[in-house]
Structure 1
Amino acid sequence: MPVSTMLLLVLAAVAAIVATQRMAEHTGLPAPALLTLIGIAYAVLPGPNVELDPDLVMTFVIPPLLYSAALDSSLLAIRRNVRTVISLSVLLVVATALLVGAGFALFVTGATLAAGVALGAAIAPPDPVAALAVGRKVGLPPRLLTLIQGEGLLNDATALTLLSVAVAAATGEGFSTRTALGEFVVAAAGGVAVGLLVAYGVRWARRWCQDPLSLNAVSLATPFVAYLIGEEAHVSGVLAVVVAGLAIGHDGPRTVSGASRLQVNAVWRLVDFLLEGMVFLLIGQQLPTVVRGLGGYDVSTVVVAAVLSVGVVLVLRPLWLVVTQLLPRPLRTGLGGDATDRLTAREVLVLSWAGTRGVITLAAIYTIPLVTDTGEPFPDRDLLLFCAFLVVLVTLVGQGMTFAPLVRLVGLRANAVDQARLRNEARSAAVRAALDRLAELESDEEAADEQQAIVTVRAQLEHRLDRYQQRLDLLEDADEIIPANPPYEAALRLHLSVIEAEREELLRLRDAGQLPDSGLRVLERELDHREVLLPPRGR
């Protein structure tokens, strides 16, 4: 494909991503599902198309997306819900793979158990991007967001390890339960070790280079370093990326300056936006390739395989969640969740519908080789590709489009008042700590020259503390809806108006030749930071 054509496709993809994001904001529909439909529409039109390269996706797309998601996760929250996360990301993935494999061996003509398990491993791990995007927008409770995010971070390593074992069995290397279990344990333990090692290296690098640009470069390189070391060590590179991201994200507030953190976060938001958009467009464009391979199969075989694959994915997840919540307390502690906090029926329903599949499923199924070690074609590879694509399409578009209405229907939302109260209590505690530090500095005889500054800063802090206390008093009697605060809203409007007036004056001075552009950028950056610090309503 000519370079100019590739550039045109990339620019068209960026335009589609931006337009779809705008459409999603106005309609409330999830952008991933809309982009997938756009990709399908483009795929059926004449013209150049892009086929999925699994090595390219696994090396250059999956690591940064997983790493960014891990940075945005809470290590402590995942640890509090670790049993439920493991139940979904390990045990449910294994159960899905085995059930699909058994179903293929029993009901699909000519299919083998190993080939079915390979498909099951590929379609088992949910991709939480669409569910999380909708969940955050509609205000899902933090615990459910943690479960969806934690499952999505850890299930890929389980699925890819299972897939490699199943492919080895199908290509003639044989299958041994003991060998498979040993490979999984080694891959998981090695991935965790590599991730922690990379996180330690990043901590050292942050102490050595503190400027924002260098830290950005280190941050962008980290997921690829973790993945490559993991793969070269023949352990789970995916798990190494996730563990490194969780550890680095947890340690970041202690080792990264504010300026660096603002820049790094902005860069990763852009990376996520573009990569996720490209991925979902790419998923839709695989339709012609997938359908083309079905010519050699009977309609009945395709229908049975499709119904079996989609059925297991849609039915097993809610069944698993229900059963694990009904287990006796000792068993549920080990399999289905934290013993002290069961999932409610509404939470089970929402979590069941959050199992959308995505690019990891297609990338995984495309890694299945064309031929076995004996030179024979891999059994039913084209049928497996179709079933995997169909599962992605049904869950991503079907569940993705209906997830927000379902959440609204069951009325499962985070308590906005509780969250606002928690934030303002934390703000008050932080200001009191700052006042205590000022008191220590004031008593220091060497700080005599700073007394006037201390008085000024104390007055500002006390004003902030009074404002937070007023906010807490207002929230004290609120139920689930944050009450309006006219003085607070008026203050926000005044601050924005003042900043806008300052910006207009700086532009007037620049246009009149009284302020160079370099000076304008410095002063404009100061105004931008002041504007960003203004909280939205209700915070």
Structure 2
Amino acid sequence: MDLDFALVGIGGVVLIVAAAAFSHRLGVAAPLLLVLVGIGYSFIPGIPNIEVDPELILMGVLPLLLYAAAIQLPVVDFRRNFGSISALSVLLVIGSAFLTGFVLFVILEDLDLAAAIALGAVISPTDVVAATAIGKRLGLPPRLLAILEGEGLVNDATALVLLRSAIAAGALSVSGTFDIAGSIGDFAYSVVVALALGLIVGFVSVVIRRRLGQPILDTAISFAVPFIAYIPAEELHASGVIAVVASGIYSGHQSARLTPQSRIAERLNWRTLQFVLENGVFLLMGAQLSGIVTEIEQGDLAWHQAVALGVLLAGILMVLRFGFVWPLLFFVRRGEQRSARRAARATGSLRRSEQARNDVKQYQAEGLGWRGGIVLGWAGMRGVVTLAAAQSLPRETPYYEQLVLIAFTVAIVTLLVQGGTLPLVIRWTGIRGSDRIADRRELATLLDEMQEAGLATLDAPRLRLPDGSDIDPAVIERVRHDTLLASEVAWERAKHADADDGILQSPHQQYRELRREVLQVERDVLLDARARGAYPSRILQRAQSLLDLEEARLEQMSTGGRD
């Protein structure tokens, strides 16, 4: 049996890679394809049933996924869209939980209100992995993606705190009442304590990682950070989710202080881990369907009735999200107008005044119009957290098996219906992402600003090496030339942004192509030397690293300004 599960695990990894490789050809996001594959697997006769402890997902997988997403979310984007993110991840989740919970309470006679609200909390948070995967592939505006990613990071915390409040103190099995005032206090406590703990963990981890200065040790520490933030927060009855998100956003914001090698290693390792976990949980979710259905005993609520209830609740959630998004857009526009007025009469520090003006500039450049509202309203898919949270309900809850199937149905329906049609919605609205030409001009302008400061260092009258010795003028001129190169390349690409990069025959393009040819010859010599055993392996590895770094630099120069 252990061998069977090992083979299933190996097959799962192969399926994840295959789905990611071929999903773009099929026009379907990999998470959606994997859910369908998992459902098909679950009904194959004779295959072992897959049962996963929900705590493994909530405590073992969720912190890693949240941290991986948080370190990639820029603080400035989160701050600029904090109002929209807060409304979607707190107000909408709470409203959805109470409305769907009340519907269940009315329909199911033996289900008390607290249990109904608990399930409402389970099905309320969105999982935007599929939405952002589709959005990035089809070129959604960066601001819309930032809102979706921020919502996905925070709304799990709201739902889990609300779920915990509903099942606390035996509410589900004893009184069946729901203490709203107590829940508000519990939520406030959870947020404040989790934020403080997450920021402390993020600060300490960055300090330690800066002092280590070794990519392997640095990355190893980063893998532990999500759990160092999550577990103590949960032990203090705060939100482990918010603690992880806070530590991740802080760590990502401070990553510029780490060594370049550490940043490259962290980015690659976390993206790989995120890819496997994100897609793996969708495959796992589909693979559990058969086991969930077989656990339902024929009684007051048959499995097909539970599925029908799930479809009904999924429809309610879709309508509610659309109804919430349009007033939200109105308040967002009002807020942007107030920000513009405040920026116009800003009298504070120069940094704060400039920040306010830049915020207004970005709001005007990336406004949320009706097209963005439609996409935001339709991107309300649920995911594996919904299923894991449903399975964490007390087993003595009335209709326990049916409630799990209802939650699963909501997740599957929203994933397949909304996720499957989201590309069509994006194309129908005609929404466009960032302007390629404008982005390249912005990059070139920023590089000019950086270059100006760098060249000022070379022009300093008392320029010396750290040991106080003079610098050869020829070396200074070489450094000056290399400093100017990045800005020149950026402006060259900005001027030819609408041209085919493959036929752009500028001097810098010719330089890159010729340098690649030289590197390929050098790599052939390296491989020949390795085959002949002419040099020690440690020397060969160092030479390989130098070639890799140079090729990575050339690739970055070639793809700069292209997402």
Verify same fold: TM over 0.5.
Answer: yes
Aligned counterpart, 1:251: 254
Aligned counterpart, 2:377: 352
Give the deviation of 1:96 after TM superposition. Answer: 0.4
Q: Does 1:144 align with 2:144?
A: yes
Q: Distance in 1 between matches of 2:500 and 2:478?
A: 36
- TM-score, length-normalised on structure 1? 0.91
Q: Distance in 1 between matches of 2:531 and 2:502?
A: 44
Q: Distance in 2 between matches of 1:291 and 1:164?
A: 26
Q: Distance in 2 between matches of 1:162 and 1:484?
A: 57
Q: Distance in 2 between matches of 1:56 and 1:314?
A: 29
Q: Distance in 2 between matches of 1:516 and 1:352?
A: 60
Q: Deviations over 1:161-207 (max 9, x none)?
A: 11112223322254221111111111111111110111122123124
8 Å CA contact retained: 2:32, 2:415: yes
Aligned counterpart, 2:454: 434
Cα distance change, pair 466–300 in 1 and its aligned pair in 2 (3 A): closer
Q: Distance in 1 between matches of 2:516 and 2:153?
A: 39
Cα distance change, pair 348–474 in 1 and its aligned pair in 2 (3 A): same
8 Å CA contact retained: 1:354, 1:403: yes
Where in structure 2 are the equivalents of 1:327-366 lying within 5 Å? 343-366=368-391
8 Å CA contact retained: 1:100, 1:308: no
SS at match of 2:471: helix
Q: Does 1:113 align with 2:113?
A: yes
Aligned residues: 525
The AA in structure 1 aligned to 2:222 is S
Where in structure 2 are the equivalents of 1:371-382 lying within 5 Å? 371=396, 378-382=397-401
Aligned counterpart, 2:315: 311
Aligned counterpart, 1:397: 416
8 Å CA contact retained: 2:307, 2:409: no
Q: Distance in 1 between matches of 2:240 and 2:462?
A: 52
Where in structure 2 are the equivalents of 1:91-110 lying within 5 Å? 91-110=91-110
Q: Deviations over 1:26-63 (max 9, x none)?
A: 33421111111111111111211211311111111000
Deviates further, 151-160 or 133-142: 133-142
Aligned counterpart, 1:416: 436
8 Å CA contact retained: 1:186, 1:235: yes
8 Å CA contact retained: 2:89, 2:125: yes
Residue 237 of structure 1, aligned match among 232, 235, 240: 240
8 Å CA contact retained: 1:104, 1:112: no
8 Å CA contact retained: 2:74, 2:253: yes
8 Å CA contact retained: 2:31, 2:279: yes
Q: Deviations over 1:199-222 (max 9, x none)?
A: 122123124322111111110000
Cα distance change, pair 331–121 in 1 and its aligned pair in 2 (3 A): farther
Deviates further, 156-165 or 303-312: 303-312
Q: Distance in 1 between matches of 2:531 and 2:500?
A: 46
Q: Distance in 2 between matches of 1:49 and 1:301?
A: 23
Q: Deviations over 1:296-345 (max 9, x none)?
A: 215785365223311122111111001223459769999xxx99766211
Q: Distance in 1 between matches of 2:225 and 2:337?
A: 35
Q: Deviations over 1:224-276 (max 9, x none)?
A: 1111111111111111000000011111102x100111111111111112111
Give the deviation of 1:425 after TM superposition. Answer: 2.0
8 Å CA contact retained: 2:307, 2:405: no
Aligned counterpart, 1:388: 407
8 Å CA contact retained: 2:441, 2:491: no
Aligned counterpart, 1:507: 527
Where in structure 2 are the equivalents of 1:439-454 lying within 5 Å? 439-440=459-460, 443-444=463-464, 446-454=468-476
8 Å CA contact retained: 1:317, 1:352: yes
8 Å CA contact retained: 1:417, 1:482: no
Aligned counterpart, 1:302: 306
Aligned counterpart, 1:26: 25
Cα distance change, pair 159–408 in 1 and its aligned pair in 2 (3 A): same
SS at match of 2:394: coil
SS at match of 2:222: helix
Q: Deviations over 1:82-116 (max 9, x none)?
A: 10000000000001001101111223444332222
Query: Where does structure 1 lack aligned partners over 5 or more consecutive residues?
Result: 372-377
8 Å CA contact retained: 2:42, 2:291: no
The AA in structure 1 aligned to 2:410 is V
Give the deviation of 1:537 after TM superposition. Answer: 4.4
SS at match of 1:486: coil
8 Å CA contact retained: 1:24, 1:30: yes
Where in structure 2 are the equivalents of 1:102-251 lying within 5 Å? 102-168=102-168, 169-172=171-174, 174-251=177-254
**What is the percentage of aligned positions where both structures have the same residue?**
35
The AA in structure 1 aligned to 2:548 is D
Q: Does 1:37 align with 2:39?
A: no
RMSD, matched Cα: 2.6
Aligned counterpart, 1:15: 14
Aligned counterpart, 1:375: none
8 Å CA contact retained: 1:107, 1:304: no
The AA in structure 2 aligned to 1:63 is P
Q: Deviations over 1:494-524 (max 9, x none)?
A: 3333322221121122223323333222111
The AA in structure 2 aligned to 1:263 is A
